[in-house]
Structure 1
């Protein structure tokens, strides 16, 4: 099949969950013999292909409100042009419900399309007023114009079923399983295994980095807190985080860490990984931490409980409860390590990229064969 993957920053994956999913799924689909085209924006990979995937680089308006839709508009136009010449996709995978207004173009050209709807974007604080109303509207459009919806978490599947009466194909993300972390990388960065707490997140309020810092500062922790992350449109929130940290010598901001070996070593070497994400589905950062055997302290929402279960992590809802969990981990590092091993075991059994890619392959086969249509989504009348 010819498969187009549209709506993300593309590959190599350097930004977030969608990009990681495109890289892991796309490379496996290509290895299985399919022609995979990934539409990319941002930093240009020097080659026209990457891990067997064909790359198409197109520009975007570099503004928060227009970046995604402007790039996807060009991507859809490019795919449409190839379709008119007989070389277009047999199926399109569109990531992010925000791109739903462009789905009629693909449908007009008889390109069957599945939309990965992502999390509850309208709950993100960076969207307010018109932005929030837009995301609420495009959820309905994704239901109306997609041949299939993809939900990466049961909580997201249930949301679309309850709100729209719409069925989704449930396909979670996979987890990279790390058996032998590069401890030399950790030493180069100045850290020792089990001797620090870790936060990895984009600096957005719904990821609760502020709560992680507040909870840590309330604790009597002796081991430092390492904060990894940044955000392109969050200067005010970033300033708030640094203000919360104050002059506490125990807290270090590393910024964005693009060295993937170092990032893996940080996950694997942390005494605890504090995960504050609250509005997404199956979060790739959480899966990566689990795959590295990190002892997870997660914000208490249904998405995180779904991924961790009852034994592979601990949960917090406010600074006081997080402070207690941090102190308990320092008091009993062995128990924290046991939870990390349970987390790795759960990730290796439930979140396997090879299985994920096979689900996507079957989905694309069903799309190309017209076994999935808008009628299979079944929106409410």
Structure 2
């Protein structure tokens, strides 16, 4: 009969990473086609699967026939198709489903989903909350919506669950506002050389246009960028990619601001190869986001060597590591565009420096390792 030291066996087992069943709750799900949360779920989830973990992603995709994606198990559940209720209704049903599945750990994305933290606790599901950016500052939630998001943020911060911040500025805010430490886990950046052959479809030439990629919302300052471009007298067109998901009033204002300048509104570009080529070949990429922490569009632009001109807020200075021009007004945009129009070599150098920053500081493998360590700790605790 073989004998063994039980304490040595336990120590050996603990030295290895335990295989976990992880639930990702609160996003639109995968395949990623919408925003930062979805990209994070896809990139982190696929790597967790590769490392032997089981990952369940709760989705509200149109195509419910997709049951797995990159090894992740997809659970498609309905949602109320109304802006103020869509996320909450879907998360509520997702949490109820997870309570039956009993995963080893869960990540609840978006502090706005805080009402369901109590459900996860009651079910004994170890969880962490990804706090996102300062959602209550977004114009689309003005009034009661802003009050709700601020209150939900407070509930999440005081829940006792592990908190995830995707930028140092968010981590600093949580510490100052609520006295809570958080786990700083940013997004990763895709490093790409996508070519330029598709630009001809849009009658564009490499290096001969400026670019904006953003949802048409006030806190993304597309109106400021367009106004600055219109006042710059640039001979290069400004290409604007993005939709107005919650109404056309802001978009109408942006179009008015463009006047008779060569501003080209493409709407949503869903061809990812084309979008990557737009990033990679622009004279400059103008990034106006101001409230969302580490922004995936900015990282994607940097990974494609796009020369960045960004809105002057701490999140953007942190991500770019200073390898960018910055603006706070339309006049600043005009100056930046004029300089870049006459110094293509400097633009290329700025783009290369930004790419190096993205390659070293924002690696998806490192991001996944941080999530894996956090989930293991949450499950063990």
The 1-side partners of 2:64 and 2:235 are apart by 43
Q: 1:285 aligns with which of 284, 297, 309?
A: 297
Corresponding position: 1:205 with 2:218: yes
Corresponding position: 1:305 with 2:317: yes
Per-residue deviation, residues 74-120 of structure 1 (Å, max 9, x unmatched): 100110122xxxxx210000110000110111111110111000000
User: 2:337 corresponds to which residue?
Assistant: 326
Q: 1:50 aligns with which of 69, 72, 84?
A: 69
Contact 1:175 1:284 in 2 (8 A): yes
Deviation (angstroms), 1:146:
4.7
Deviation (angstroms), 1:144:
2.3
Q: 1:159 aligns with which of 173, 176, 182?
A: 173
The 1-side partners of 2:89 and 2:116 are apart by 10
Q: 1:229 aligns with which of 222, 225, 242?
A: 242
Any residues of structure 2 matched to 1:31-180 within 5 Å, and which? 31-82=50-101, 88-178=102-192, 180=193
User: 1:254 corresponds to which residue?
Assistant: 266
User: 1:374 corresponds to which residue?
Assistant: none
Q: 1:5 aligns with which of 4, 24, 45?
A: 24
Corresponding position: 1:16 with 2:35: yes
Per-residue deviation, residues 293-314 of structure 1 (Å, max 9, x unmatched): 000000000110111122x111
Deviation (angstroms), 1:341:
0.2
Unpaired runs of 5+ in structure 2?
A: 1-19
User: 1:362 corresponds to which residue?
Assistant: 373
Contact 1:114 1:146 in 2 (8 A): no
Aligned partner of residue 199 in structure 1, secondary structure: strand
The 2-side partners of 1:298 and 1:146 are apart by 35
Q: TM-score, normalised by structure 1?
A: 0.94
Contact 2:137 2:146 in 1 (8 A): yes
Deviation (angstroms), 1:182:
2.6
Deviation (angstroms), 1:192:
1.1
Q: 1:264 aligns with which of 255, 276, 288?
A: 276
Contact 1:203 1:234 in 2 (8 A): no
Contact 1:115 1:146 in 2 (8 A): no
The 2-side partners of 1:307 and 1:193 are apart by 25
Aligned partner of residue 297 in structure 1, secondary structure: strand
Provide the aligned C-alpha RMSD in A: 0.9
Q: TM-score, normalised by structure 2?
A: 0.94
Per-residue deviation, residues 211-244 of structure 1 (Å, max 9, x unmatched): 1100000102110000000032131111111111
Deviation (angstroms), 1:189:
2.7
Contact 1:42 1:59 in 2 (8 A): no
User: 1:352 corresponds to which residue?
Assistant: 363
The 2-side partners of 1:274 and 1:197 are apart by 7
Aligned partner of residue 216 in structure 2, secondary structure: coil
The 2-side partners of 1:365 and 1:302 are apart by 31
The 2-side partners of 1:298 and 1:354 are apart by 26
The 1-side partners of 2:376 and 2:31 are apart by 25
Contact 2:158 2:178 in 1 (8 A): no
Contact 2:107 2:130 in 1 (8 A): yes
Deviation (angstroms), 1:257:
0.6
User: 1:238 corresponds to which residue?
Assistant: 251
Deviation (angstroms), 1:246:
2.6
